[in-house]
Amino acid sequence: MPKAPTKRYWTVRSSSIHNRGIFARREIPNDVPIIEYIGEKITKAESTRRAEALVDKAKKTGGAAVYVFTLNQRHDVDGAKGRNPARYINHSCAPNCEAYVIRGRIWIYSIREIKAGEELTYNYGFDVDTWDDHPCCCGAERCVGFIVEEKQWPKLLRKMEKLERDVKNGKFKVNGANGHATPLVNGTRAKKKSA
């Protein structure tokens, strides 16, 4: 199990990506545990119930932040309540961190050297099937425009090309935002890391 770093590497402040984010307070070496993602361990059924409540909230308020992490096939971790500063880490298409599940706990690791002041990000790993519910504002040069797991980017591209063809052929009228919100039922995904 990784040990929490003796020096605190991060600080919370407002982010150009979305609302609040987490930033490096000092230089962070590659491949070190930075912060644990702490939360309430919940069943998939409870997770789905909370996701549906978020959909309702998003319909009323126009948006809702998602703090659910997929832990394994049976459980998720809801990091919305209590002291969990890792909840403020935003998604990026060119991330400098990665989330790993290590013996049932979620740790955020650096995946390269990070300079003081850089915002800490990881790829949320959302499924491509809900791509148009999650536009991405990460601002990276390689941003694909939507919060989607990198492995699924080729599929995302095909879906976007198909949509473009359909619009050109007059199949759809584009009205801007898609008008519905489906916060992830499965939550943000972490990878497995051999400790």
From the CB of 84, what's the least distance to ligand SAM, in Å? 10
Which entry of ligand SAM, Zn ion, none binds 143, CB below 5 to 8 A by partner kind? Zn ion
Stretch of residues binding ligand SAM (CB under 6 A), selected from 44-52, 85-93, 101-109, 159-167 = 85-93
Question: CB under 5 to 8 A by kind: which of ligand SAM, Zn ion, none does 184 bind?
Answer: none
Distance CA(17)–CA(1), nearest Å, equals 31
Query: Is the torsion defined by CA of 36, 41, 45, 48 positive or negative?
Result: negative
Q: Between residues 3 and 83, which has the closer beta carbon with respect to ligand SAM?
A: 83
Q: By CB under 6 A, name the one of 47, 70, 84, 90 that touches ligand SAM.
A: 90
73 vs 179: CA distance, rounded Å = 30
Choose the contact partner of 17 out of ligand SAM, Zn ion, none; CB within 5 to 8 A by kind.
Answer: ligand SAM
Residue at 7: amino acid letter: K
Query: Where are the strands (E) in 55-156, listed by range?
Result: 68-70, 75-78, 90-91, 97-102, 105-110, 119-122
